Homo-oligomer: A and B are copies of this chain.
Amino acid sequence: MRGMNMSPSESGAEIGFTWPIRVYYEDTDAGGIVFYANYLKFFERARTEWLRACGVEQDRLAQEAGALFVVRSTAVDYRAPARLDDLVRIVSRTERIGRASVDFSQEAWRDGTLLATGTIRVGCVDRVALRPAAIPAPVLAALRRGPTVTAPRVSTDNA
């Protein structure tokens, strides 16, 4: 499966889930480097694919369970710049999976260079009022199980 980088003896939770991102012109700014706010986009793409690898698709979650994941807080440190055409790899781990929110630790790497690190808190809300809500039980179980290579609903696009 695209993006998974696990040796057989290691679980996704221990190693992290890797998702590749190519840098295009849209991602850069006049400083010649990736615009810092765009790391939040990169991190979100990786969390979305982590969710998908857990068997959770956010559009279905909204339609079937009336639940949205929203970002509560973000903290990002920028270590080194990425540039046009770079291939960046986002490594994502869950630090805490609570009843109504999840804390992610995420890193952006280009080969052996750490570009940025982020801590992102994502909360579950009901779709209409946008008020905090418990993560639906089957979703919570899926998140705690983590990405599974054989998950039946895992996307295989780009494979």
Contact = CB atoms under 8 A, between A and B. Distances in A.
Interface of A: 2-3, 20, 22, 24-26, 28-33, 35-38, 40-41, 44-45, 48, 57-60, 68, 70-78, 81, 83-85, 87, 130, 155, 157-159
Contact of A75 (B29, B35, B70, B74): B74
A57 B23 CA distance: 12
Contact of A58 (B36, B78, B84): B84
B87 A157 contact: yes
Given A40-B40, A41-B37, A74-B36, A29 B28 contact: yes
Copies of this chain, tallied across the complex: 4
Given A31-B70, A87-B155, 8 more contacts: A20-B158, A26-B45, A30-B83, A30-B84, A74-B75, A74-B76, A75-B75, A75-B76
Contacts of A84: 30, 58-59
Contacts of A48: 22, 24-25
Contacts of A71: 36, 78
Contacts of A74: 36-37, 74-76
A45 to B, nearest CB: 5
Nearest to A118: B74
B30 A29 contact: yes
Contact of A25 (B3, B26, B31): B31
A83 B58 CA distance: 11
Contacts of A78: 70-73
